[in-house]
A = this chain, B = another copy of it.
Amino acid sequence: MFSGLSAFPLTPVNATGIDEKSFLSLLARLTTAKVDSLGVLGSTGSYAYFTREQRQRVASLAVQHADGIPVMVSIGATSTDEVLRLAEDAQHAGVSALLLPAVSYQKLTEEEVFGFYTEVARNVSLPICVYDNPGTTHTDFSNPLYARIAALSNIASIKIPGVPDEIASAKQRVNTLRAHLPDHIRIGVSGDAAAGNGLMAGCDVWFSVCGGLFPNTALLFTQAAQAGDFATVAAQSRRLEPLWALFRQHGGSIRVMSAAAAILGLADENNLPRPLRALSSEEQREVRQVIETLELS
């Protein structure tokens, strides 16, 4: 579950709710490309906008159509009670791992974050990936907090938000983190622009938004890293800079990937849960041009 390319697809909606046909067409691209794992209902999969029932349905659909590829789903919510219910639902759906962010409304103290992971870890039977995404959850993890959480049972991986731009600093970041963690913990990098550096710095897995729609492009990248071909990784990451620039321009990757899915004919134009909105026509044209120029697939 926690090596290579973990692809994080959108969960498209339409006027009546979750667009299951569209979701399955996205999944089919990923199973055909043979990504290493599926990260369903991640931030890009809009878990934070769906009801418990919708999340259970999407998790079940994903497991049924994953073609044997392991599926992880986010069980994030502000309330611990709700997280425990979502964990039970996800386990019933047959997923392979649980992605667990510390979503905050009131800013959480370090003891509250630790208490949260302790309680959830004690109540599940599947591997947990600790999801550190301060841009959306507004929860910060210090290295000592990572260490305390990683020592809990059922903790298998940590999804970090990125690594520094400079490769020496990126290596130092990953090495420092690794020194705080038990050996069995797998480190995954997200923030696609940082993925090249993250993989070259020794991360085990790329939790990839780009790979959720363009799995072949992302696999080239990941497989080069796994083969130790860092020249190719660096070149690919530079080549994809226009895509990373779009992500920066639009406050993250989700609106860009939403536009891309619509441009590919795989989802409605308005495929994000409201209040999120589709990019403007002009912005969509820019996304189309980047897809074509970079030959994303």
Contacts and interface: CB of A to CB of B under 8 A. Distances in A.
Q: In which size bucket is the chain A interface?
A: 20 to 34
Given A50-B79, A79-B274, A80-B274, A252 B106 contact: yes
Contacts of A50: 79
Contact of A48 (B105, B251, B252): B105
Nearest to A101: B105
Given A106-B252, A107-B135, A107-B251, A116 B275 contact: yes
Contacts of A251: 106-107, 109
A51 to B, nearest CB: 7
Given A107-B252, A251-B109, A102 B51 contact: no
B49 A112 contact: no
A111 interface: yes
A119 B276 CA distance: 12
Contact of A106 (B80, B112, B113, B276): B276
Nearest to A13: B81
A125 interface: no
Contact of A79 (B49, B80, B82, B116): B49
Contacts of A252: 106-107
A48 B254 contact: no
Interface string A267-297: 0000001111100000000000000000000
8 contacts: A43-B105, A48-B78, A48-B105, A51-B82, A109-B251, A113-B275, A119-B275, A138-B138
The 9 closest A-B pairs by CB, nearest first: A48-B105, A116-B275, A80-B274, A49-B79, A112-B275, A80-B275, A48-B78, A112-B277, A105-B136
Interface of A: 43, 48-51, 78-82, 102-103, 105-109, 111-113, 115-116, 119, 135-136, 138, 251-252, 254, 273-277
